[in-house]
Amino acid sequence: MYSFKAPVDDIMFSLRHVAQVDGLPGWEISDAEDVLGHFAEFAENVLAPLNAIGDREGAQYSDGQVQMPTGFVDAYKQLSDDGWQGLTAPVEFGGQDVSPLIVAGVSEIFTGANHSLQMVCALAPGAIATLRLFGSSQQQTEWIPKLASGEFLSTMCLTEAAAGSDLSVISTRAVLTKTGWSLSGEKIYISGGGQDLTDGILHLVLARSGDADAGLSGLSLFLCPSQPGVRVTRIEDKMGLHASPTCQMLFDDAAAELIGEEGAGLKAMFKMMNEVRIDVALQGVAHASAAAYVAQRYAAERKQGRTIEGNAAKLCDHADVRRMLDEQRILAIGTRGICHIAIKEIQLAQKPALVEFLTSLCKVMGSEAGIRSADLGIQILGGCGYLTEYGMSQIWRDARITAIYEGANGIHKRGLVTRGLRKGGAMDDFAVLVQALGEGDQSVNDDVEHWLKVAKQLSESDDRTPQSHAFTELCANVLRKAVWVRIATMAHHHSDAEELLRLSATVLNEERIYKVSQHD
């Protein structure tokens, strides 16, 4: 099995020259290089060696307690002691207030090294952001320092057995008593609902405080620290992410505090969910990159067959293998750039409809890139890819969940063709963004013109949901092509400019027709 190598150069190139974030508030090149360099060293030497161990041992459950695999407790202690859990927290609360653009790079590296541990740790920044926006001064003062120091980790408790994607039927009850709010109900699929990394866990729980028939308007968000009234009743046996405990939780008259306004729980929870959705997209990018790295190493070493000249050949000498290796790199580099562009738009905070549109598109594209790259990696390695020795099968299994959690991809596709095309939505802003990325390329301009025609026709349809998949593919293809024009233009800034130009030519020289069949 090959050791994990953090793609720091690719990340820095993408941030600086694809997303072009230089000059944004809070972004400093030296800070980014320093933070990413230090975390890459930590990830390669501490986190990555535990990845296969975690997959093999898995998280264990006994009598309501969850135990993490060998080495995870010590690794988390080093992670928190070194301040990595407090990157996004304000300085006044013990954090470092690092730019979200730098944090995005850290998150990708973390996932590539050890997705399971990243999953358990990654909800704390979202909880911090939610408390900063909706929490009271007292809640912020009490909880943000504990999350920033790593003393507490956090969860997001939404899903119930009868309420998956349809949150309007959530039944967990919140009752206001003389001593405060009390929660009762069951939640499922709670990442990190139990673990032995920290003494405490801060659960953010979406519960019904209004009438049973009030739907989404009856939901409120609550802060509920671990206590006797909160317990894990089981952990799930999963295909992947074995070291990340996915818990079924019971809240039994558990004391809680309201976050924000009663009845506005979904608004507050969506802040945390949107933070996580971009992170999920980067999880996909991390898997795409990790799978490409392993496949490239293997293909460059494995002797197989002969060249057309009759000489001994390596796997990478064969045209079809080179095609698959190129596709892996194209998926990782291009999709990373798209995610970074979306994060830049979030930072600019000027086009909320575009941010919503890009968030869903990134979630779909990032998750599918990771799965596709891992699948290609298995094919490149052949029988060795199907074995566990080289880690490719784990990459595929761990990546597969990204298309399901934080909103199944079908839900995001539906949102793109419905909310994304509503009046006052992201249509014009998306077209402008793509044209800007295309650097004046006529082919990109033609694509945008076609995309606008299709989008306008769909926006006038009474039911455009049957076209959600095709429209998402159209959006992805148009944006991907424009991003690769930008990559080609800026390739000279990369340490391997020749390789980027070669990959750009592969993408841009392909004959593609961006059409939805019903709107030719």
Distance CA 140, CA 130 (A): 10
Whether 406 sits among the annotated catalytic residues: the reply is yes
> HSE of 335 in the Cβ direction (CA atoms, 13 Å)?
34
Helices (H), 122-234: 123-134, 137-149
**Which spans in 407-441 are helix H?**
409-417, 427-437
Q: Which residues pair with 184 in a beta bridge?
A: 173, 252
- Report yes or no: 206 and 272 within 8 Å, Cβ to Cβ: no
Helices (H), 302-382: 319-348, 352-381
DSSP-based three-state secondary structure for 177: strand
**SS3 of residue 154 by DSSP:** strand
Residue 310: its H or E element: none
| Closest by Cα among 399, 170, 196 to 288 | 399
Q: How far apart are CA 365 and CA 339, in angstroms?
A: 9
**Token digits for 303?**
């002797």
Question: Residue 158 in contact with residue 187, Cβ under 8 Å?
Answer: yes
| Active-site annotation holder among 309, 406, 449, 511 | 406
| Integer Cα distance of 433 and 422 in angstroms | 18
Helix axes 442-459, 427-437, angle to 10 degrees: 170
Give alpha helix (H) positions in 46-136.
51-57, 72-81, 100-121, 123-134
3-state secondary structure at position 430: helix
Distance CA(175)–CA(65), nearest Å, equals 27
Q: Name the helix (H) or strand (E) containing 204.
A: strand 200-208
**Cβ-contact 210, 219 below 8 angstroms:** yes
- Please say whether the beta carbons of 358 and 478 come within 8 A: no
Matching residue, tokens 């400093």? 28
The C-alpha atoms of residue 162 and residue 246 are separated, in whole angstroms, by: 17
Tokens of 318: 């064969």
Contact at 8 Å (CB) between 101 and 21? yes
Phi, psi of 184 (to 5 degrees): -140, 130
- Would you please indicate which residues are annotated as catalytic (active-site) residues? 406
